[in-house]
Structure 1
Amino acid sequence: MNTLSCLIVDDEPIAREILAAFCAHIPELRVVGHCENAFEAKSVLTETPVDLLFLDIDMPELDGLSFLRTLTQKPQVIFTTAYREFAVDAFDLAACDYLLKPIPLPRFMAAVDKAITTLNKATQNRNEGHLTNCVTGSDNSLFLKSDGKLIRIVKSDFLVAEAIGKQVKITSETKLLTVTIPLSVLEQKLTGAGFVRIHRSFLINVSKIDYIEGNRVYIQSTSIPIGEYYREAFMKQIGS
């Protein structure tokens, strides 16, 4: 795993600053936001799912434990709190770790290492489980399992793939199909010149781009957003 997106949730500004400074020491971490309460965090997570959540417990209106119980899709969670007495409840919620304030940097780094290990294992298991749905046919084609059939996609015909939940919708010049694989697995199978991730949910064939306008790519009248995190690398790749 190259980077982990993480969100810091704490009602104390100094605590948020310390955690952000700690995160800056770890290249694998990319902080996507700082929230001062659970409601702000809920809004961010609705728009931007994250890999790792640094979560305070004692917050106004909705405490960290109660907030975590509201999430249907739970990221890895490292609780950051001044209170020892909530540790059992935290681990009952499958927390990755429980850090007591003031948090020493070495202890913080150990907790992050644990989260990275857990996430890497989960990713490996998912990918291994999905490999049977994605079989390399040749240098020019790919076989993808859809509706119980292995369907051949010619790589040069590939237009765009869109991740929708646990499935990927693939559009080519001649076919439209939905497969149950992570977009990252498809990206690995299409590694090479011409195929690029431009958004966390979109993979495209650069050779099929008609034009780019603002933060969107257009392929055969289909509008595809360019994610802020991917924009710089994408523009460099196309020489702009």
Structure 2
Amino acid sequence: MSPIDCLIVDDEPIARDIIRTYCAHLPYLRVAGMCGSALEAKAALMERKADIVFLDINMPVMDGIAFLKTLKSPPQIIFTTAYKEYAVDAFDLSACDYLLKPFSLERFIVAVDKAMEKIQTTASLPVDTSEPKDDDYLFLKADGKIFKIRHDDLLYAEANGNYTKVTTSQHTLLPAMTFSGFEELVPKSKFLRIHRSFIINKSKIDHIEGNRVFIQNTEIPIGSNYREQFLKQIGFSS
């Protein structure tokens, strides 16, 4: 059997070491890397493939569920968390399994076996050569809840210190996420950075006047460094 490459993603060093020790008991598992944050994991997956990702949920900057939404073709995901309330969201995202900390070696092996079955099933399926379809929604954690937000309902986002103020047609949310972290979550074809502190949904623009964009009676400034690129993106030259 060829080795199965695993990536361990957890902000707690002890938790990473426990999973690495468990992996060592299974000779067909190879730990390809260990990451302390979701953004570090995203960079790691761009450099090398992983067949299974052991993914913590409650991490700073970007949580595990939000991170999974950024992956177009995710590997098998086994969530590892101390919080059972995320289980429904995890399985909605087609996670392979959900390990509640602290978990035993026996329970760990059961999760790995599930992932192995899925990997073998996927390997036997015909290759789909069609273009991948972007999901039309994202998940944001705010006020102790995880909100599923359709791209079409998202109006604009504003940098707010270590948070990002996200305005939708139904809510104003303040997830504990950096502005650059939020920018990574949304498709660049639909969402445009028009100012160092603002990202807007292109389809929600009512009109543009001078150096201002209007979205549902809200006036949003266009930064001078972004104006030329923004006008090109909507089909105008400056």
The whole-number CA distance in structure 2 between the counterparts of 1:42 and 1:84 is 24
1:123-160 Cα offsets, whole Å, 9 max, x none, are 02237x99xxxxxxxxxxxxxxxxxxxxxxxxxxxxxx
The whole-number CA distance in structure 2 between the counterparts of 1:29 and 1:2 is 9
Partner of 1:60: 60
Partner of 2:123: 123
Partner of 1:231: none
User: TM (normalized to structure 1)?
Assistant: 0.52
Alignment of 1:178-193 (within 5 A): none
1:113 aligns with 2:113: yes
Partner of 1:204: none
2:107 corresponds to which letter in structure 1? Answer: R
Tell me by how many angstroms 1:73 deviates. Answer: 1.6
Moved over 2 A (4+): none
Partner of 2:40: 40
| Structure 1: 5+ residue stretches without partners | 131-240
Alignment of 1:1-240 (within 5 A): 1-126=1-126
Sequence identity of aligned pairs in percent? 57
| Structure 2: 5+ residue stretches without partners | 130-238
Tell me by how many angstroms 1:54 deviates. Answer: 0.2
The whole-number CA distance in structure 2 between the counterparts of 1:17 and 1:103 is 13
2:114 corresponds to which letter in structure 1? Answer: K
The whole-number CA distance in structure 1 between the counterparts of 2:8 and 2:17 is 9
1:108 corresponds to which letter in structure 2? Answer: F
SS of the residue corresponding to residue 50 of structure 1 reads coil
Partner of 1:181: none
2:28 corresponds to which letter in structure 1? Answer: E
The whole-number CA distance in structure 1 between the counterparts of 2:70 and 2:121 is 25
SS of the residue corresponding to residue 126 of structure 1 reads coil
1:105 corresponds to which letter in structure 2? Answer: L
Partner of 1:219: none
Corresponding pairs, count = 131
More helix, by proportion: 1
SS of the residue corresponding to residue 95 of structure 2 reads coil
The whole-number CA distance in structure 1 between the counterparts of 2:113 and 2:48 is 23
User: TM (normalized to structure 2)?
Assistant: 0.53
Higher relative contact order (CA 8 A, sep 6+): 2
Partner of 1:161: none
Tell me by how many angstroms 1:39 deviates. Answer: 0.8
2:54 corresponds to which letter in structure 1? Answer: F
Tell me by how many angstroms 1:27 deviates. Answer: 1.4
The whole-number CA distance in structure 2 between the counterparts of 1:22 and 1:120 is 21
